[in-house]
Amino acid sequence: MNELTPTDDELVSSYLDGEATFDEVARVESDPPLRARAAEMQAARDLVATPVRSLQGSDLERVIGAALEASATSDDVIDLRLEAVRRQRFRQRLVAVAAAVVVLVVAVPTLLALDSFGDGDDTDSFATSTDTGDEAGAAGGDDGEAGGDDVALLQSDDAAAADDSAEAAAEAAADTGDDSADGDDGDSADVDMAARTLDRAEILPEDLGSIDGAALLEAAKTAWQAYAAEPTAGDPDTTADELAARHPCGREILDALGPTVSAIDLGGAILDDVETTVAVVVVDGTTATLFVAAPPACVVEQLGELTSAP
């Protein structure tokens, strides 16, 4: 029995579709394997053409429930979101590596070229210095043949040059002393900032929580009125650095206000979803000013005036 080929299947398909010629029909009907293949194809066509029975409502719910249960307990389910994140991280790493390679490819030849250029300059300088030394030696030989008057003149020139060098050294020492004094002033300013104590006032709560601008101003007014009625001092030993370290923009506020404030209190708040440092600066016994600053810029802004009057 000969094995059927794809060409034979096409012939049988044409025969079933009614597209075969008389010779092809005769060939199929006279060949037992082709007749058997035609019978198989016709049976498959009849099976596919059979109408599918619609599932009843109960059967449909049972099939869907079984599928959901199987998918919920299957260990082969892959979270596509995690896979997407992994692919994204891989691409980011690949881009970073490629960028580093490009930087190395560009930077290394450039550095080597600059290094070679610098070596060439050093060589030229050495050659120039050698030539100059030779010329000076030749000139010295000629001067050695001069008379005693020339020798005396050279000695007087050397003495004058020595005096000039001494004066230049004295001036340089004086300039160095001035620079050192200036540096000491900068260091002393830092020391003063670290050692300076502040007139602390206990006005605001340490943490006002999440709040908006209007509510912050109202809370600060209430706290200020209570403080003005009965002032409460903070820790007198607290330095400016220690107070600034408690809040993200504390140092910027203290630097902006300067050392002349009569009393100050710092607190924290979440203002418009941003961690913000709040400062109340006492102007006098009845008036204070409310300042705020938020990272990263820590720009100090005046939010309002506080009075002891209700």
pLDDT at 15: 94
The phi and psi torsions of 105 (rounded to 5 degrees) equal -60, -35
Of 277, 139, 108, give the one whose Cα is nearest residue 208.
277
Please tell me the number of Cα atoms within 13 Å of 130 on its side-chain side. Answer: 6
In the chain, % helix, strand, coil (3-state, to 5) comes to 65, 15, 20
Mark residue 258 as left, alpha or beta (left: phi above 0; alpha: psi -120 to 50; beta: remaining): left
Which is nearest to 269 in space by CA: 198, 219, 305, 202? 219
Q: What is the pLDDT of residue 117?
A: 63
Question: CA 239 to CA 195: how far, in whole Å?
Answer: 6
Q: With a cut of 50, which residues of the chain have pLDDT below it?
A: 1, 136, 139, 144, 146-147, 151, 154, 176-177, 179-181, 183-184, 186-189, 191
| pTM tops 0.75, yes or no | no
According to the model, what pLDDT value does residue 59 have?
82
pLDDT at 31: 94
Condensed to tens digits (0 to 9), the pLDDT of residues 93-111 reads 889 999 999 998 888 888 8
Provide the pLDDT for residue 1.
Answer: 47
